[in-house]
Structure 1
Amino acid sequence: MPEGDTVWLTAHKLHGALAGGLLTRTDFRLPELATTDLSGRTVIEVVARGKHILLRTSDELTLHSHLMMDGSWTASRNGKRLFGQSHPAHHLRVVLETAEVTAQGHRVHDVRIVPTARESDLVGHLGPDLLGPDWDVAVTTSRLLSTPDRMIGPALLDQRNLAGLGNLYKCELLFLRGVSPWAPVSSVADLPAMMVLAHRLLRANRDTWAQVTTGVNRPGQQTWVYERGSKPCRRCGTPIRRADQHEPGHGRLGDPRARSTYWCPHCQPGPGP
């Protein structure tokens, strides 16, 4: 699933391409929206809220979409691609056209149109957004500590605690702070400092499609532990381990809902899977 910085950049690019433009044609290739037509409306702005994208129009409607695991947006002007990669035609779900730009949503999910005043129906459950104006270290820390016995790995991925953090940054953040992904939230030293670092990591990567936590933007050198299972830790040389992280009562090891967790057992001492 795309991380919050990728979603933020997608929304930022869409805003640059569409904001201020009058929609001349829209096409929703989804059964529930097949007859919907947003043409004649002006795009006011496109913003990200955690991992959700909100496109707002002049008559106070909001087009909501979520990238999930495989969704993406592209935009082109006069046949020249502005951003995004090409996709097979059968992946197309949404088309938004202005006089100059064509934006296409490929395999986008949870596409809905609601009054802007009711956006909270779709995103009101989210915690503070790591890349949003509502980011608040104290609120996020309080939400995490509200379930002190929960494992820190799944707690960080819970978008009700903080919005925008995904599996890559979860693994990297816990490594950088020397915390086992299976440690209870209550045992984590200086949670506010961890939240400050999470914010720094996403801010550092939000303006580029690459995601770099090591400071080295070269293939194979961009992350400390993520997708480096069995490879030596960059700090101590211990083989990086990989496991499907899960919580009691939330599926089994191997459950497709579980996400692979990467960690160094030496640099991140504590409970394991």
Structure 2
Amino acid sequence: MPEGDTVFAAAARLRKALDGRVIDHSQFRVPRLATADLRGRRVTSVRSRGKHLLIDLGPGGPDDRDDRPLSVHSHLKMEGAWHVHPVGTRWRRPAYQARVVLRAEGQEAVGFELGVLELLADPDAALAYLGPDLLADDFDAAEAIRRLSADPARTVGDALLDQRLMAGVGNVFRSEICFLRRVLPTRPVGEVEVAPMVDLSRQLLWANRLRTARSTTGQTSPNARMWVYGRRGQWCRRCSTPIARDHMGPVGEDRVVYFCPACQS
């Protein structure tokens, strides 16, 4: 499931392939961007902001008359992915799932099933609503604590997923963070220690930002990587109580959450 660590890793791969290079082929396979042409623009940076990925491009274009920098903004949502490979390499997903193809000096980046895909002239303004990015070098822990603490009646499980408060945590990390802090996701924020929860969130995402397989236990075996997520009915690794699963969140947006009914009570 794409979360902040997944997007950070995707940005790192794209940066290695595209940063500093000039786009010599672009194809958008979504109707609203079908006529967009990025040829001639140089990639000036590739970066992640929470769960958002930005490919920044300098001015230019096919006729060299567009003096506005642009950014390709994408969000993976549930199924999206960016793949990077030399031009001519066989794609690892069906072509009908491709939403954008970018080529630069022999390297090709393909965005598949992207939940959000758009061109932005001012991406920082568009994403200004996001809370502190857990994977930013200058992560502002104090601001994240302040935002999370602003509504003490809100459940901690909902607050952790709110990207306006702190950017990067998704469904997997929500369950794992709450387990490690021994709190139920349904507990009000005002009843938990927010600062250690923010610190743990940063530690877990940072440790996983470049891993091939996400792990919150420190183990790499497929059946040992998670404490609770995806382990409904299996024994808790801490107290041997069967792990439970439920749904929580706003009406129509509720998402699955895993927890130990004993350790987190």
Q: Tell me the TM-score normalized by structure 1.
A: 0.91
1:32 counterpart letter in structure 2: R
Report the Cα offset of residue 80 of structure 1. 4.7
**Which ranges of structure 2 fall in alignment gaps of 5 or more residues?**
60-68
* Counterpart residue number, 2:181: 177
Cα contact 1:180–1:268 (8 A) shared by 2: yes
Report the Cα offset of residue 78 of structure 1. 4.5
SS in 2 for 1:32: helix
* Counterpart residue number, 2:244: 241
Single out whichever of 228-237 and 54-63 deviates more from structure 2: 54-63
RMSD over aligned Cα atoms: 1.3
SS in 1 for 2:261: coil
* Counterpart residue number, 2:63: none
Alpha-carbon distance between aligned partners in 2 of 1:231 and 1:25, rounded to the nearest angstrom: 49
Alpha-carbon distance between aligned partners in 2 of 1:154 and 1:168, rounded to the nearest angstrom: 13
Indicate which of 146, 151, 159 corresponds to 2:150. 146
2:95 counterpart letter in structure 1: A
1:91 counterpart letter in structure 2: Q
Cα contact 1:179–1:268 (8 A) shared by 2: yes
SS in 1 for 2:157: helix
* Counterpart residue number, 1:267: 263
Cα contact 1:22–1:39 (8 A) shared by 2: yes
Q: How many residues align?
A: 256
Report the Cα offset of residue 109 of structure 1. 2.5
Cα contact 1:14–1:46 (8 A) shared by 2: yes
* Counterpart residue number, 1:219: 222
SS in 1 for 2:44: strand
Equivalent residues in 2 for 1:1-273, closer than 5 Å: 1-59=1-59, 60-80=69-89, 86-115=92-121, 118-188=122-192, 190-246=193-249, 250-251=250-251, 255=252, 257-269=253-265
Cα contact 2:133–2:167 (8 A) shared by 1: yes
Instruction: State the Cα deviation string for residues 84-137 of structure 1 (Å, max 9, x = none).
Output: x7111110110101121011111113211122xx21343111000000134111
Q: Tell me the TM-score normalized by structure 2.
A: 0.93
Report the Cα offset of residue 68 of structure 1. 0.5
1:6 counterpart letter in structure 2: T
Cα contact 1:201–1:213 (8 A) shared by 2: yes
Alpha-carbon distance between aligned partners in 2 of 1:33 and 1:171, rounded to the nearest angstrom: 37
Report the Cα offset of residue 20 of structure 1. 1.2
Cα contact 1:6–1:209 (8 A) shared by 2: no
Alpha-carbon distance between aligned partners in 1 of 2:127 and 2:114, rounded to the nearest angstrom: 16
